[in-house]
Amino acid sequence: MINALNLVIKLQNRPWVDKDIEEHLERLFKYFDQNYHEFSSFEKWKKQVERKNLAWSPVHTEKFWQTCFIFFHEAENLACINILIEILQHPSRGPDSDAIDQKKAIACYDLGEFARFFPLGRNYLEQRNAKAFIAQLMSDPSSSPELKKEAITCYQKLLMNSWGMGGVAQ
């Protein structure tokens, strides 16, 4: 929840004079990587979505979605998908437009993975007109490059029958 893995990665990318720091950062990275499930539970994802406080973290990765798509057979968890769609509709203008665009980018990523891995995901998003909201983000000149990239990728996932699944139609 505190996004420690991203912090470690950023610190690893900095030049350090003291080699001990590099070794400590490498050990931290390995620890987070080995204990991935502990830091990427469905409950953590759900809390982020319910709070509308999305931040890039292990719960917004392909690895997470490969294992957690099964939780969407429950209606209460599908409500989180509706929240992600709501986030896409939030106006981006104002002093926090960069933060809002990042939240929208993460929402697009999650919706794309939902469509990709959950068998009824595409249909569910289509019923909620998510494609129209995503298309609007793609064409909005005020959208950040990150948001446009995630919106385009999400839209492609909604259109394709098979996305990186070894050619197996879903």
Q: What is the pLDDT of residues 6-29, one digit of tens each?
A: 778 888 888 888 989 999 999 988
Q: What kind and span of H or E run contains 112? A: helix 97-117
Q: Is 41 left (phi over 0), alpha (psi -120 to 50) or beta?
A: beta
Task: Say if residue 4's pLDDT is above 90.
Answer: no
pTM above 0.85, yes or no: no
Mean pLDDT of 27-54: 82
- Cα dihedral across residues 7, 12, 17, 18: positive or negative: positive
- How many Å apart are CA 10 and CA 85, to the nearest integer? 30
Residue carrying the six token digits 């997470």:
64
Q: Is the pLDDT of residue 37 over 70?
A: no
User: Which of the four pLDDT bands, split at 50, 70 and 90, describes residue 32?
Assistant: confident
CB atoms within 10 A of CB 90: 12
Helix (H) and strand (E) counts in the chain: 10, 0
d(CA 70, CA 2) in angstroms, rounded, equals 25
On whether the CB atoms of residues 147 and 96 are closer than 8 A, the answer is no
CB atoms within 10 A of CB 108: 29
Q: Work out the angle at residue 161's Cα, subtended by the Cα atoms of residues 124 and 167, and round it to the nearest 5 degrees.
A: 140
